[in-house]
Amino acid sequence: MAVKAVVLLSGGLDSTTVCAIARSEGREIHALTIDYNQRHRKELDAARRVAQSSGVQEHLILSLDLSLFGGSSLTDMNMEVQKGKALETIGTSIPSSYVPARNTVFLSLALAYAETRAASELWIGVNCVDYSGYPDCRPEFLKSFEETANLGTRAGINGARFSVRAPLLNLSKGEIIRKGLSLGVDYSQTLTCYSPTSEGLACGQCESCLLRLAGFREAGIEDPIPYVNRSRR
């Protein structure tokens, strides 16, 4: 019987690759997308497209209005998404796009979902190479969450072991893209931009776009999605 896994799927490049890796390892995938009232709503459409073409068992979209708390440029319309940073400065400090405790919240929700489906693995696309400076992308955080998960659930008490799988943790963006392509990922379905146009064009200037574009350059491949001001980069 296939091992059941909850995969956090945003519809971006990283989580889409994670989904493909989980599938390549034979997991039965329960994909979870969190609609946290992020300003980049087009991401949800991307998540739906990816889930449909990834052979997942089930795909749930859970609404959670994190904009109620504020404190991040991704949810607070009064804060601006930073654009045009020099690539080498990304990751040196925590950016305004940091959503407070986001991965703790997302992994908790993945855990709740996993427990109801008797899934033992939580897959997440965090990365500590091009990690953009978020504290909750570090391996020691993931390890600690695993411990908390095993202590805080019925399944944990009954001897099941939850594990957090973060297969991108030590890969560069270019390596992630090459890995995904080797598994047949269609990156034209994904959307990474924090600030896309209403037509779904990526801005090409936010941190997320800058890291993505650098990744495609590193992989020596053209990014298949359209950007503002030019059809492709």
- For its own copies, the binding residues (CB under 8 A) are 60, 62-66, 68-71, 94, 98-105, 107-109, 111-113, 115-116, 135-136, 138, 140-141, 144-145, 147-149, 151-154, 156-157
CA distance 97 to 76: 10
Residue closer to its own copies, measured from CB, 57 or 108: 108
Q: Of the two residues 3 and 112, which places its CB atom closer to its own copies in the complex?
A: 112
Taking the complex as a whole, how short is the minimal distance between the CB of residue 227 and its own copies, in angstroms? 30
Q: Which is nearer to its own copies, 140 or 199 (CB)?
A: 140
Cα(91)–Cα(206) distance, integer angstroms: 13
Choice between 156 and 200, CB closer to its own copies: 156
Q: How far is the CB of 47 from its own copies (least distance, A)?
A: 15
Sheet arrangement for strand 121-123: 28-35, 4-8, 121-123, 163-165
Nearer to its own copies, 53 or 104 (CB): 104
In the bound complex, what is the minimum distance in angstroms from residue 149's beta carbon to its own copies? 7
Helix axes 42-53, 13-24, angle to 10 degrees: 20
**Among residues 181, 218, 212, which one has the least CA distance to residue 226?**
212
Closest approach of its own copies to the CB of residue 223, in Å = 30
Residue 209: C-alpha distances to residues 6, 77, 85, 204, 223 (Å): 26, 19, 11, 5, 11
User: Smallest distance, Å, CB 136 to its own copies?
Assistant: 4
Nearest to 125 by CA among 71, 220, 47: 47
